[in-house]
A = this chain, B = another copy of it.
Amino acid sequence: MNIKDAALYSGLPAKTIRYYDEIGLISPPRDDNGYRTFEKTELHQLVFVAHARALGFTIEDCRALLMLYKDDQRASADVKRIANEHLKHIETKISDLETMRDTLSHLINECHGDQRPDCPILDNFRGRD
């Protein structure tokens, strides 16, 4: 199977798959013509990475997870640790964004939003002297 079909199968753009190859995340074998070939093993890895990326794991996380995925002797504790660290990152990001959201929506509510130049949003950004 060539890259286009691998892209269709995995849901990843072909460009992204080439990029993953370039950084050594996956290493599909090449045909005599230089084309990358994708069979079951490669397709599974692509789907795996696609899933992990969809959950927000970084490429380096994916690299580590992929190692564990390929290792039949892995301990599930290793996977759980990586996942837990990532979960903490996600939770931090969520609460940061919630703070932003609350502040911003408060400011928006205060703002008339009409033709007048008076604007509490800008006033707030200005800070006090």
Contact = CB atoms under 8 A, between A and B. Distances in A.
Interface string A91-103: 1011001101101
Interface residues of A, number: 53
In the complex this chain forms, how many copies of it are found?
2
A39 B50 CA distance: 51
A11 B103 CA distance: 19
Contact of A48 (B51, B111, B114, B126): B126
Contact of A105 (B72, B87, B117, B119): B87
A94 B96 CA distance: 9
A47 interface: yes
Interface in A73-129: 73-77, 79-81, 83-84, 86-87, 90-91, 93-94, 97-98, 100-101, 103-105, 107-108, 111-119, 121-122, 124-127
